[in-house]
Structure 1
Amino acid sequence: MEPLDLRRLRYFVVLAEKLNFTRASEQLCIAQPALSQQIRTLEREVGARLVERHPGGCSLTAVGKVVAAKATLLLAQARAARDDIDAAARGQDGRIRLAYTRSARGGRVDALIERFRAQNPHVEVVPETGWHAPNVAGLLAGRYDAAFVRPPLDEPGIRWRLVDTEELRLALPSGHHLARVRRVSREEVAGEPAVMWPRENGPGMFDRIVAQVWPSGINLVRYEPDDEQLLRAVAAGGVVAAVPEGRAKALRLRGVVLRRLTPPIPTVDIGLAWNDRTSTPVVQRLLATLDDPGEPPSGGS
C-alpha cells in the first residue's frame, strides 16, 4: 500500500469530528464536492468504506473509526516533526560543538554561554577546551562548530567576533623587588627572566604579549604548558609572567603578586570564531547572543 496522503487524512479527521460534510467543508474552507471527492479517494486508497452517508450527515464505519484514530495520532506526530524541523532550522534545537580556550574561562566568555543556554534550552552544548591553534585547526577540520580564540588570526574561511578585551597583568614572585610598586614600567621589567607557554599554542597572542610587555626583547628562560603552570613557576621564584587579568585573578596562587604595567596598557582579545563554510543555524544563534545588551561591539572579519 502506498503511504496515505496527510492532507486527505486531515480532511477525514475533521469530517470524523463534525459527521457532516457541509460543516466539515466550511471548517476546511473547501467546497463540499471537493471534500466528498477527497474522502472517496481516501476510501479507494484504504480499500474500504470509511463513512456511511445519511440525509442529515454521516457516520463512521468500523474501519473509519480506526482510520480516524490512527490519522489523529499520525497528524499530531507530523506536526511535532515539523515543529522540530523548524526549530532546528532556526537554531533553537540541535547541538553545538564548542571549544573553549584555556586562557579565557570565566568573565564574559562563561556569561555568554550561560545566556545562550538559558535562551536555547533545547540546544545541547558539547564543550571541549584547548589552545588557540588546536581550536582553529578543529574549526577547519569540522570537529568544532565554534571556538573561542585569541586574535589576531587570518586563516582563510575562519571568521570571528570580539567577545572581550582583557588587560595583561604582570605576575611577580611575592618577594620580588617590583612587587612593592603599584605599576611596573617596561624598563623595569626588561631583562627580567620570564616564563611563557610555547609560541605554537597561539602565535598571534604570543607575539602580541611580547611586543606589548617586552618591546625591546624578552629574556625567556622557561616554558610551561598553560597559565596555571606559569603562575606556579612564578610562585616558585626566579621568573615573571604576563597573564590575562581574568585568568590571573581566577587562578590566584599563594606567593604570586599581580601588578599593572604603566601606559600604554597591554591588552589581549578573546574572540568567538566559526568556519564560514560550515556555519549552522545554531552557530548563528550563538553569534546573535553577542548582540544582546551589555555585550561589547563586534570585531574582526
Structure 2
Amino acid sequence: MAFTLEQLRGFVAVADELHFGRAAARLKMTQPPLSRQIQKLERVVGAQLLERDNRRVTLTAAGQVFLVEARRLLGLADSAPELARRVSSGASGVVRIGFTAASTYGVLGRLLNDLAAELPDVDVDLSEMVTREQVAGLLNEEVDLGLGRPPFDEEAFGNRLLHREALLVAAPVGHRLLELGRPVTAADLASTPVVMHSPTQAKYFYDLVARVAPVAAENTVHTVSQVLTMLWLVAAGRGVAFVPASAARLPIEGVAFVRLETSVPQPVELHLLWAKDSKNPALWRTLAVLERRAGRL
C-alpha cells in the first residue's frame, strides 16, 4: 500500500499548524477525516510522525525528516502538470543540435544566444558532426536539428538557408597572392601548393573548390577535414587553403586572407536541417524562434 497526495497534504498542513483543527480548516475539511488520513499515512510509512495529546501536536524525529520529503514530493506533483504542458508546447524540453566545426566561428554562438533569450527552459545538447553524420543522426533520432551543408534529401528533411559567406584564400603572411590588391582568381593559383579539403570528410568544401578553382592533383600537398587544421598548416608555410570568410575570425599568427573571385559572391552556404516527421515540440518552437531572428544570423 502506498500513501496518497491527499495524505501528504494533510500531514504537511498539520505540521505547519501544529493543530488539527486549524489544519482541517485550512484544508476545508472536518477534523475526524484529517485524523484518519494521518493515521493511515503513519501505517503506510511504518513510523509515528506526530505526537498529539489534548493540549498540543508536535513532530517526532521521524516526522521532521518525513516533512522535508513530503514537501519535495508535493512540489513535484504540483509542478508536473505545468511542466508537461510546457514540454507539449515546446517551451520546455531538450533540443539536440549537430553542427559543423566551421559554424562555430560566428553563427552557432548567436543562434544559441537567441534560443537562450526566447526559450530559457529548453536545454540545448550540442554535438560536433560533419554534415553526413548529422544526416545519419537525424534519421536515427539522435539529433533534432543540424547546421550543415547542402545537398540534402528534401523528401526526408526540411531545411532553410541560415547563412551565406564568401570563400577566402588563406595564405602565409608575405605570400605573393596577398600583394595582388584584388580578389584571387583560379589562374593566380596555378602551381601554388594547396592544403586541400578532404573529398570524403569535407566533401561540401571539396566539391565547391573543385567548381570555382580546380586544384591540380600535383599541387595538393595535404588533405584535411577541419578548417582550423588547414590554417595551422598554412601558418607553417605548407601552402594556401580555401576557407569560409568566418574563418578570418580565428587569430592564427602568420596567416592572412584574400577573397577568392567566384561567380556567386557568397557561395558558402550553411543550412538548418531537420527531420520533417520529428515529434519533438521543442524543435518546432526552436525553428519558430530562428525564423523570427533570421536576419540576425
TM-score (norm 2): 0.71
Q: 1:235 to 1:88 in 2, by over 3 A?
A: same
Asked if 1:185 corresponds to 2:185, the answer is: yes
Matches of residues 20-39 of structure 1 in structure 2 within 5 Å? Answer: none
User: What is the alpha-carbon distance in structure 2 between the residues aligned to residue 5 and residue 266 of structure 1?
Assistant: 61
Equivalence for 1:259: 258
Find the aligned partners of 2:155 and 2:189 in 1 and give their Cα distance.
37
Deviation at 1:294, TM superposition (A): 5.2
Letter in 1 for 2:234: V
Other-structure match for 2:276: 276
Specify the alignment match of 1:63 in structure 2. 33
Query: In the alignment, residue 160 of structure 2 is paired with which amino acid?
Result: R
Task: Show the counterpart of 1:287.
Answer: 287
Residue 149 (structure 2) aligns with: 150
- The whole-number CA distance in structure 2 between the counterparts of 1:2 and 1:294 is 52
Instruction: Determine helix, strand or coil for the equivalent of 2:134.
Output: helix
Residues 147 and 271, structure 2, Cα contact 8 Å, conserved in 1: yes
CA drift at 1:281: 0.9
Contact conserved, 2:165 with 2:244, CA < 8 A, in 1? yes
Residue ranges of structure 1 left out of the alignment (5+ in a row) = 10-14, 20-50, 52-59
- 2:233 is matched with 233
SS class of match (2:295)? coil
Instruction: Answer yes or no: is the 8 Å Cα contact 1:95–1:282 preserved in 2.
Output: yes
Secondary structure of the 1:104 match is helix
Please list the CA deviations of residues 113-147 of structure 1 after superposition, one character each: whole Å capped at 9, or x if unmatched. Answer: 11102222222211121222222222122211112
Query: Do structure 1's residue 175 and structure 2's residue 174 form an aligned pair?
Result: yes
Distance 1:271 1:66, change over 3 A: farther
Mapped contact 1:94–1:122 kept (Cα < 8 A): yes
Aligned to 2:57: none
Q: Cα distance, 1:250 vs. partner?
A: 2.5
2:195–2:239 Cα contact (<8 Å) kept:
yes
Is the Cα–Cα contact under 8 Å of residues 99 and 146 in structure 1 kept in the other structure? yes
- Percent sequence identity is 27
Residue 244 of structure 1: aligned partner: 244
Sort the Cα spacing of 1:78 and 1:93 in 2 relative to 1 into closer, same or farther, 3 A.
same
CA distance in structure 2 between the aligned counterparts of 1:201 and 1:66, rounded to whole angstroms: 70
Distance 1:236 1:78, change over 3 A: closer
Q: CA deviation at 1:223?
A: 0.9
Q: Call closer, same or farther: CA 1:91–1:197 in 2, change over 3 Å.
A: same
Q: Does the 8 Å contact 2:171/2:239 carry over to 1?
A: yes
Aligned residue number for residue 60 of structure 2 = none
Count of aligned pairs between the two proteins: 248
Q: TM-score, normalised by structure 1?
A: 0.70
Deviation of residue 78 (structure 1)? Answer: 5.0
Distance 1:75 1:152, change over 3 A: same
CA RMSD of aligned residues (A): 3.3
1:201-244 CA-partner distances (Å, limit 9, x unpaired): 24234212321233x86643311231111111112224211101
Task: Give the 3-state SS of the residue equivalent to 2:291 in structure 1.
Answer: coil
Deviation string, structure 1 residues 69-95 (Cα, Å, up to 9, x no partner): x9xx89976552211111001111111
